[in-house]
Amino acid sequence: DSGVTQTPKHLITATGQRVTLRCSPRSGDLSVYWYQQSLDQGLQFLIQYYNGEERAKGNILERFSAQQFPDLHSELNLSSLELGDSALYFCASSPPGFRETEAFFGQGTRLTVV
Amino acid sequence: AQKITQTQPGMFVQEKEAVTLDCTYDTSDPSYGLFWYKQPSSGEMIFLIYQGSYDQQNATEGRYSLNFQKARKSANLVISASQLGDSAMYFCAMGTGRRALTFGSGTRLQVQP
């Protein structure tokens, strides 16, 4: 158990809908990252938050948004869903300090758009 | 820009044998970290091993060791005494500063009895 909690584990929804994925980082971790893994592909970085503020953006679509709340949990909002958005979405958190890029991953949310 | 290259889409190994999964990287940052993750069929990403760019010795974690050759920009994962439970996707990743990790495309390892 990495200590990073993602909910829900599975989500099935229809095209055009909006969903929210939730992530609770490890205790003490300030950074939260969101990644997308499409079928049989590597992980693509979407967005990073650090202590409540957006730190970096990757290949995140305009239909997607995220935020990190004062208690450091984060939510990834996906709207106007398309079939191609079906993927495994991971949240990761990392601690402050020397090995700041060390990332601990949640178990992922498997999103299926039908 | 950072890049991770894993050239082996799939690998087979006999149970109890050692296997090396290749990873090369490219970055202009002098300080970086290299990671290996295991992803079983259930989907979770399991952290295996970390190597810092300034670490003098190769990292080891149980049956996992990282063969770090800085001049060649390679960070190969060696799994000794393979077990059936090692069958999974393996991802090499690199991180610098407080930026997100850059992942390779992965290697699917199958351990045969």
pLDDT of residue B2: 87
Does pLDDT of A40 surpass 80?
Answer: no
- CA B88 and chain centroid, separation: 12
pLDDT of residue A97: 66
Contacts with A104 (C-beta within 8 Å, 6 or more apart), sequence order: A2, A3, A4, A26, A29, A92, A93, A94, B47
Residues of B within an 8 Å Cβ radius of A: 32-33, 35, 37, 43-47, 50, 52, 91, 93, 95-106
Better-predicted residue by pLDDT, A77 or B56? A77
How far, CA to CA in Å, does B27 sit from each of A14, B8, B69?
40, 21, 14
From A40, A70, A76, select the one nearest A58 (Cα to Cα): A76
Q: Where are the alpha helices (DSSP H) in B1-113?
A: none
Better-predicted residue by pLDDT, A81 or B31? A81
Nearest residue in B to A48, CA atom: B100
CB-defined contacts A:B, below 8 A: 68
Confirm or reject contact between A41 and chain B (CB < 8 A).
yes
Residues of A in contact with B105 (CB under 8 A): 41-42
The mean predicted confidence, pLDDT, of chain A is: 92
Q: Which of B43, B93, B101 sits opposite A110 (nearest CB)?
A: B43
Does pLDDT of A95 surpass 60?
Answer: yes
Structure confidence at residue A99 as a pLDDT band (50, 70, 90)? low
pLDDT in tens, B82-93: 999 999 999 999
Residues of B in contact with A42 (CB under 8 A): 91, 103-106
pLDDT in tens, B52-109: 999 889 999 999 999 999 999 999 999 999 999 999 999 999 988 777 889 999 999 9
Confirm or reject contact between A49 and chain B (CB < 8 A).
no
Nearest chain B Cα distance for residue A57, angstroms: 9
pLDDT of residue B63: 97
pLDDT of residue A39: 82
User: Region A19-25: what's the mean pLDDT?
Assistant: 97
